[in-house]
């Protein structure tokens, strides 16, 4: 299984857990929950670890380019960088809050792999002459 393929189920699980939590906290009568507007979701009642994980997902969605560069290869890389960064951020939340050593080891492996892949994608964009998004630490 490729690194990316093994990461996708975990991110889907985090997103599903957040959506399930949101579904279990029904909006007031007459109000509708808009899962498409996760960036506007009040997460203050979620457990701290879920706030971290869902916050990473929100940041990812907000970091995705809204317009095409005109180059499918560059667009792929420009969208994958925030996706990978989100995986890193979710994994860091696991390291901060989790206590299962096997899960923590997986989180660290994800961080190591995704950081390397982000560096590779940035180098590819540079070779294409496309500006990469600012690094998480910038």
- Indicate the number of domains in the chain: 1
In a domain, 84, yes or no: yes
In a domain, 77, yes or no: yes
HEC string of the chain equals CCHHHHHHHHHHHHHHHHHHHHHHCCCCCCCCCCHHHHHHCCCCCCCHHHHHHHHHHHHHHHHCCCCCCCCHHHHHHHHHHHHHHHHHHHHHHHHHHCCCHHHHHHHHHHHHHHHHHHHHHHHHHHHHCCCCCCCCCC
Other Cβ atoms less than 10 A from the Cβ of 33: the count is: 13
Residue with tokens 């279990």: 24
Which pTM does this prediction carry? 0.60
Distance from first CA to last CA of the chain, Å, rounded?
A: 32
Q: Which two tokens stand for residue 127?
A: 């070779």
Q: What is the pLDDT of residue 34?
A: 42
The CATH number for 81's domain is 1.20.1260.10
Nearest to 136 by CA among 86, 61, 97: 86
- H or E element: which one contains 40? none
In a domain, 87, yes or no: yes
Q: What is the pLDDT of residue 32?
A: 37
In a domain, 60, yes or no: no
Task: Give 10-residue mean pLDDT values along the chain (138 residues).
Answer: 54 52 49 45 63 62 72 92 89 93 97 96 95 69
Q: What is the pLDDT of residue 52?
A: 59
Q: What is the pLDDT of residue 11?
A: 52
Range of the domain at 113: 71-128
Q: What is the pLDDT of residue 135?
A: 72
In a domain, 10, yes or no: no
In a domain, 65, yes or no: no
Other Cβ atoms less than 10 A from the Cβ of 62: the count is: 11
In a domain, 37, yes or no: no
């Amino acid at each position: 299984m490729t690194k990316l393929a093994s990461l996708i189920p975990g991110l889907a699980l985090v997103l599903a857990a957040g959506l399930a939590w949101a579904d279990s906290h029904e909006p007031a009568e007459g109000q509708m929950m808009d899962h498409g507007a996760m960036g506007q979701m009040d997460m203050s009642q979620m457990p701290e670890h879920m706030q971290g994980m869902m916050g990473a997902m929100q940041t990812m969605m907000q970091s995705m380019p809204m317009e095409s560069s005109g180059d499918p290869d560059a667009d792929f890389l420009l969208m994958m960088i925030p996706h990978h960064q989100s995986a890193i951020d979710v994994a860091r939340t696991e390291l901060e809050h989790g206590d299962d050593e096997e899960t923590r080891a997986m989180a660290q492996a994800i961080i190591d792999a995704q950081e390397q892949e982000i560096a590779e994608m940035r180098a590819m964009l540079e070779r294409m002459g496309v500006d990469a998004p600012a690094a998480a630490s910038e």
